Amino acid sequence: MNKIKSRASRIARYSFYITKSSSVLCLLAAMLLPSVLMAQDLAVKAERLYTGTGEVIENGVVIISDGKILKVGRSEALSIDAGIEVIEVAVATPGLIDARSVVGLSGAMNQRHDQDQLERSAAIQPELRAIDAYNPRELLVEWLREHGVTTVHTGHGPGEVVSGQTLIAKTWGTTVEQAVIDPSFALSATLGPAATRHDRKTPGNRSKAVAMLRTELQKAREYQAKLDSDADQPRDLGLEALAAVLNQEMPLIIEVHRHHDIMTALRLAEEFEFTLILAGASEAYLLIDEILAAKVSVIIHPTMLRARGGSDVQHFSFTTAAKLVEAGIPVALQSGFEAYVPKTRVVLFEAAMTLAHGLSFDQALNLITMAPAKMLGIDDRVGSLEPGKDADIAMFDGDPFEYTTKVVGTIINGERVSSTLR
């Protein structure tokens, strides 16, 4: 992932949004949105503080200033300035991260007007941008926030060969500009039966889907060569996005489940030298050596994936996450995509299920904190409770993975954005 472009270059591409050059605009924004833009100083005291770095602090405290973590340590070792609000909880962890979702595009109403996660008019549409459809006020975003999920990687979902672009956002803010961290993180692709399950004539089988993707990648390669030699080359937004994949400026996330489809994805990545992230990967346990050799990351399917006979996920395993972690393959956990109400899973519950299938508490927590932060290239901001990072914290009244435990609050960017018991 080290070849993915830096945040600075992403911010440059994002410069058409809010500008800070005008003090008048900044003042107006602060006046209109004080509850969102003005972080407060806080201190969170926890009987047990999981930092996300592997360290567990008994009677720990996190001191927050200007939306960032200022200090982390034992309560008796750190002084809290007078006047700072102190929140006391049983357990605190880093804000949870959902490594792959369609939330914000897929809405809670489950009606056509709030279902923007998949466009069925064509098999390959890399020019579609999640940021043009993402709704930060969607009820499902609030639902995740109330369950301690503070960051989501979301966007166009599986179901077409290339369905569009994804984004990374905080579950915070009332506008896209406030919520989004990375407006164009990756391209979403699909191989296997899911890519041919539609009412169009093509692609009708695996070979056709792969041939279509390979053809478009080759076109993008030629398009980039023309751009390099001719600055006046007309823009093609679809080929431009695919060229960004070939230039390793963004990864291609391929939703794939069967072992032979996984191997096809690995061959494509080798052929075109792009950064591949496997998503779903129900049969990844059959190809551990191959995935490890390819140095590919995996956003594993939800632990409680609903599998049925005859589907491409019928051979999933509850122990896949543990096997991949043991092998040293970078793994993160996703909520995935629900085609019906409630429309989204909660990664907290999915991670809890891994405890009964080979993972330790620390490993399960890592799947929804630091591991996805690293995979998404945002570990300098989120994923652990360390000085200088964003003050994103999930708070609980007991063991986070215990069935009877409730989430008692969520802090994002230093703001207590939820105190609802979940």
Residue 65's domain spans which residues?
33-94+386-422
Please report whether residue 1 resides in a domain. Answer: no
CB atoms within 10 A of CB 164: 26
pLDDT (0 to 100) of residue 20: 39
333 and 405, same domain (yes or no): no
Please report whether residue 284 resides in a domain. Answer: yes
User: Which candidate, 197, 216, 144, places its Cα nearest to that of 412?
Assistant: 144
197 and 114, same domain (yes or no): yes
Please report whether residue 301 resides in a domain. Answer: yes
Between strands 297-300 and 252-256, the pairing is unpaired
| Phi, psi values for residue 19, rounded to 5° | -105, 145
Which residues lie below 8 Å from residue 11, measured CB to CB, with a gap of 6+?
Answer: none
86 and 100, same domain (yes or no): no
260 and 324, same domain (yes or no): yes
Question: How does pLDDT run along the chain (422 residues), one tens digit per residue?
Answer: 444 444 444 434 444 333 334 434 443 444 444 334 345 599 999 999 999 999 999 999 999 999 999 999 999 999 999 889 999 999 999 999 999 999 999 999 888 898 999 999 999 999 999 999 999 999 999 999 999 999 999 999 999 999 999 999 999 999 999 999 999 999 999 999 989 988 888 999 999 999 999 999 999 999 999 988 887 888 999 999 999 999 999 999 999 999 999 999 999 999 999 999 999 999 999 999 999 999 999 999 999 988 877 788 999 999 999 999 999 999 999 999 887 777 899 999 999 999 999 999 999 999 999 999 999 999 999 999 999 999 999 999 999 999 999 999 999 999 999 999 99
User: Which phi-psi region, left, alpha or beta, contains residue 34 (left: φ > 0; alpha: ψ -120 to 50)?
Assistant: alpha
Please report whether residue 77 resides in a domain. Answer: yes
334 and 398, same domain (yes or no): no
Please report whether residue 2 resides in a domain. Answer: no
250 and 377, same domain (yes or no): yes
User: Which candidate, 150, 152, 136, 87, places its Cα nearest to that of 412?
Assistant: 150
Which of 367, 382, 397 lies at the terminal end of a domain, its last residue? 382
Please report whether residue 240 resides in a domain. Answer: yes
Please report whether residue 120 resides in a domain. Answer: yes
pLDDT (0 to 100) of residue 174: 94
CATH number (domain holding residue 394) = 2.30.40.10
Number of independent structural domains in the chain: 2
**Cis-peptide into 193, omega within 30 deg:** no
CATH number (domain holding residue 196) = 3.20.20.140
pLDDT (0 to 100) of residue 39: 52
Q: Specify the residue for token string 């500008």.
A: 19
Whether pTM > 0.85 for this model: the answer is yes
117 and 247, same domain (yes or no): yes
81 and 158, same domain (yes or no): no
pLDDT (0 to 100) of residue 24: 40
Which residues lie below 8 Å from residue 213, measured CB to CB, with a gap of 6+?
Answer: 124, 161, 162, 189, 191, 268
Please report whether residue 320 resides in a domain. Answer: yes
125 and 222, same domain (yes or no): yes
16 and 37, same domain (yes or no): no
171 and 301, same domain (yes or no): yes
Between strands 68-74 and 56-65, the pairing is antiparallel
Task: Specify whether the CB–CB gap between 260 and 235 falls below 8 A.
Answer: no
194 and 291, same domain (yes or no): yes
